[in-house]
Structure 1
Amino acid sequence: MPKVARFHRLGGPEVLQFDESTFEDPFAGELLFKVKAIGINRMEVFFRAGGFGPPKEFPAMLGSECAGTVLAVGEGIKGFCTGDHVATIPGFTSVLGFATEMKGHECAVYGEQP
């Protein structure tokens, strides 16, 4: 079962937990990919510590940038195939939560890895 890094309360790195999660097939306009690497930057550290106020709900996830391999392609997606290498583009999405082994998200925030 895929794991996801989450925090259930505010604090330092000690509040991070690896929880099991499930993922569905991608919806139309989405990719499902296996996350191979994430970046944790100052914004995520600040968010986890409560610097932006508490998250909308707990548990909350980190990760605004990642790289991985496409597992499934949602309906209407063109230019991506299973096995393609992809990376998110920080600043082009307000979505956090890439600190996971698998992730589905709108295709518009992806580009090919160099």
Structure 2
Amino acid sequence: MRARFKALTSAHGYFYAHAMLKSVSVSDPSGGGYIDATFMDVRIRFQLLMIFGDDFEPRGRVVCMHCHTTYGRIVQESLGAFTFDAQGMTDLDCGIDGRVVEIDACAPQIVLMFLERAFGANRFL
């Protein structure tokens, strides 16, 4: 599960090389089991939680938090979460022909989706 979660870091290479979005940064996984993504001083954190599904198979639950400072205090607000299985299939809806979003193949889209939510949550940007 940790290796599948680490696939989110591949988004950095995509943004830097292929998409020419060098202002989007995705960190390597920390020792605390999270990955940070930053764009224009907006930081989001993907936190991995290990869980079991209804079938008692291991799953990864990724909680995404918008990390910012309000009145000098550090605040983390939930932007949502998703679950993935051992094959990397998530429960995210891509909205296109019912295709399944894979954490490995769709890492840039996942990062952008949650960054968009963070921008939408912040009315001052």
Coarse TM-score class (shorter-chain normalised): under 0.3
TM-score relative to the length of structure 1: 0.25
Greater relative contact order, per chain length (Cα 8 Å cut-off, separation 6+): 1
**TM-score, length of structure 2 as denominator length:** 0.23
